[in-house]
Amino acid sequence: MSHGSPCTTGHAAPQEALERRLESELAEIRTAGLWRELRRVDSAQGRRIRVGNREVLNFSSNDYLGLANHVVLREAAIKAIEKFGCGSGASRLVCGSLSPHHQFEESIAAFTGSEAALAFNSGHAAALGAIGALMGSHDVVVIDRLAHASLVDAVRLSGARLLVFPHNDLDGLERVLRRRDCQGAVRRPRVLVVTESVFSMDGDRAPLGEIVEIKDRFGAWLMVDEAHATGLFGDRRSGLGEQPGLGDRIEIRMATLGKALGSSGGCICGSRKLVDLLVNRARSFIFTTAPVPAASAAASAAIEIVQSDEGARRHHRLWQNVAGMAELLTDVTTSPANGASAIFPIVVGSESVAMKAASNLFERGVLAPGIRFPTVARGAARLRVSLTSDHTHDDLGLLARALREILANAG
């Protein structure tokens, strides 16, 4: 008898089994009309980008202020590379805590009016780290139904009980907070309410003032994901959480650096003690190599631009574009959020209609992605148009005309 592994006797080689399994899962995805593939882009981000051998008008990026390819960010990144190199070498706690990260954290803490801040490699990692560090299996997280997948993943990974309240529904939030789960008699659980300030796929805003009142009344904490608001809202433009009277009452503010700030990474802003706890407990901070120095340096440069006269001009152009687009789309989108942010969802319902509309748009030289399950609910597929300060009035007109024709033909 051979000593060959008994596990493989009579079975296909494991590699073959894996390939077959992959094949059947891929077939399932295709059949469901949910197939996704990457589209290679051969240029920097901007209002026009190169895709394959053509140039298209880009309404798909979150580079709201046109900073991703801004000369000042590029120079800041290059300088950081020249001084600190490309890689950070190790985790922040080992030897990767390079000064560009500290500078960035000081700068975003001042920007958001927080005591302290901690940078992560991505917004996704920031969500995992913060929720995982604070919440455990005895605790409850109450989350808006439309909150980003990274927040949902974070709650699941933390082991906390996940309760959902209907989107932006204050009575719904109260109802959930009144449930027994949140009012544990034996060992009062810690309760964390989680929402986005601007919703990534719907473009509407959370009623933060009211949410803060409610969570305070119930003694819960609040985490606000400002991914689509950082750099865009408020007098200082640090996000919706900077509204007077809110700052101190939002325990955890999350920012992403890859959207309006034109760089890459995530960040948690809050008290010094919160940040100290994250340094000690957040696994997605501890067990990962620090962000590249260029990313932190570019984000610091972005925060400076946002607060400068140029930032004010970019801001003004963006909001002019938002107002213009809202008007052009009044008959195309029925979204009540039309104009509340730089994100315009054009909900068509059917996944196949949304994907067909996106591909028709692309044929006309316009890139606006079709968004479908699991990014949004089944049957709520949409085109997602996002505007930047660099779009021109003609760009908006072209998009609106194309949308109107394509959607009319789609019936």
Closest separation in Å from C-beta 127 to ligand PLP: 6
d(CA 221, CA 134) in angstroms, rounded, equals 11
Residue closer to ligand PLP (CB basis): 91 or 375: 375
Residue 369 engages ligand PLP in binding (rule: CB under 6 A): no
Residue closer to ligand PLP (CB basis): 201 or 402: 201
Active site residue 196: yes
Residue 230's region, left for phi above 0, alpha for psi from -120 to 50, else beta, is beta
Question: Residue 370, SS3?
Answer: strand
Residue closer to ligand PLP (CB basis): 66 or 291: 291
Contacts of 307 (CB under 8 A, 6+ apart): 111, 236, 237
Residue 225 engages ligand PLP in binding (rule: CB under 6 A): yes
Residue 227 engages ligand PLP in binding (rule: CB under 6 A): yes
* Binds ligand PLP (CB under 6 A): choice among 258, 324, 369, 370: 258
Contact track, ligand PLP, 139-178, x by CB under 6 A: ---------x-x----------------------------
DSSP state of 154: H
Residue 200 engages ligand PLP in binding (rule: CB under 6 A): yes
Closest separation in Å from C-beta 153 to ligand PLP: 10
Residue closer to ligand PLP (CB basis): 148 or 372: 148
Active site residue 356: no
H, E, C per residue of 46-59: CCEEEECCEEEEEC
H, E, C per residue of 199-213: CCCCCCECCHHHHHH
168 touches 144 (CB < 8 A): yes
Instruction: Name beta bridge partners: 194.
Output: 143, 223
Closest separation in Å from C-beta 148 to ligand PLP: 4
Helix, strand, coil content of the chain in percent (nearest 5): 45, 15, 40
| Tokens read off for 63 | 């580079």
The residues that touch ligand PLP, with contacts defined as CB under 6 A, are 122-124, 148, 150, 196, 200, 225, 227-228, 256, 258, 266
What residues are annotated to the active site?
62, 148, 196, 200, 225, 228, 259
